Every structure is written in structure tokens, then in C-alpha cells.
Amino acid sequence: MFLKATIPCHDLDRPVPPYKHNPSAWSQRIPICLLAFVAAGISVHLSLFQWGLIESVWDPFFGDGSNNVLKSDTALQMYRMLGIHDAALGVLAYLGDAVLGLAGSPRRWQYRPWLVVLFGIDVIPLGIVSVILVAVQGLVVGSWCFLCLMTALISLILVYWAWDEVRVALTYLWIVWKQNCDRRLLWDAFWGNRSEPLDRAAESLLAREVK
């Protein structure tokens, strides 16, 4: 039976090739979480306006543009389709980014690949969709929303910052498959189970040249 070895704390933060840093380190994830909380706070403000709880949205550049965008026919059509305002959906997505970013250890790319993949799904596709929706609203309505643009910018930054950790986790899973060609082992790796073949796969990744 394979016995789980205790890994020293300093080994948890080892750089993971091809990067010169550990994408799962707290120093990498905390900024993502803080920025996600900022975006969630902005989205709460936008959502309050869409729900009719405040009279206007703060906008230092476009005047009534924000109000026009958030109350436009396009925004209302999205509400009818989704059953929730897009700004409220943004609140949930950004809070999800923050919560998933805070979960797991500095070696979660190996111990919780499923968590990293879920984090990537929440940040990357939803972030890209957020940017597209903001662009479409502005182009269709003919007005721009300053805070909407800010959340779109934050989404792009989050995608950029999150990509390296997702890449490392997927690379680890690929090495597991390449070395073993065993679906059960790959499934175990995805859920973060430990065994000698899986630890060998992780060490193979860590032993690669850092560029």
C-alpha cells in the first residue's frame, strides 16, 4: 500500500516548469482573489441599479451612458433569457473566482487538479464572455458604461493571471496519461489522490527545465 509522504512546506512552493514560479503559490493567488472581490463590489453597485434599488450609476466619463446601457433593451432581453440581471450574474461569477482562488494548498495543481480546472472554467470562459457582453452592449446601445468597462478589464487581467496555474494542472494530468495510459490513474490524479505513479508524474513535471 502506498503511504502518503509528508512534503516539507518549502517544497510546496517549488517553481513549476515552464515557469520560474509556482502558479499555485499564495503570492500568485491572493492578488487574483483581491481583484475578484473588487470586481464583485463594482458588480453589486451595477446590480443595485438594475434592480431599481438606486437611482443612478456612478460614471465619471460617460454621463448617462451607464444608465442607458444597464437599462437598455439588450440588457432587458438578457434578463428575460437568464432570469437574472447580467450585473448580478457578474457578482456570482467574481465571488466564485475569489472563493475558488482561496481554496487549496500551494500545490493544488497536483493535490486538487479538479479545483484548478473548476477555477479556470469560472475565470477564463466566463471572463471572456463578460468582455464580449460589455462590447456588444456598448456597440448595440451606442453608449458606454465606465464601471462595466472596468469589470471587463479586470476580467481580462484575471484570465491572464489564472492561465498559468490551469496550464500547469493540465500538463500534470497529461504527463500522468502519457506515462501510464491508465484512465483510472488519470481519474485518481484529477481528484488529487496519491500513489507512486502519480508522484512520479509530478516529479517529472518539476524536473523539467525552467525557461
Let me know if residue 22 belongs to a domain. yes
Q: Which of 117, 118, 127, 106 is nearest to 35 (CA)?
A: 127
Please check whether residue 9 lies inside any domain of the structure.
no
Is 194 domain-assigned?
yes
Distance CA 4, CA 2 (A): 6
68: Cα within 13 Å, side-chain hemisphere: 14
- pLDDT tens profile 139-196: 888 888 999 999 999 999 999 999 999 999 999 999 999 999 999 999 999 999 999 9
- Are 65 and 202 contacting, i.e. CB atoms less than 8 angstroms apart? no
Tally the domains of the chain: 1
Whichever domain contains 121, its CATH number is 1.20.1440.130
Q: Is residue 200 part of a domain?
A: yes
Spatial contact of 91 and 47, defined as CB atoms under 8 Å apart = yes
Residue 144 is assigned to a structural domain of this protein = yes
Name the DSSP class of 193: -
Q: Is residue 94 part of a domain?
A: yes
Give pTM, 2 decimals: 0.88
**Domain region containing 133:** 16-206
Tell me whether residue 6 is in a domain. no
Confidence label for 2 from pLDDT (cuts 50, 70 and 90): very low
Is position 99 within any domain?
yes
Sign of the dihedral defined by the CA atoms of residues 104, 109, 114, 118, in that order: positive
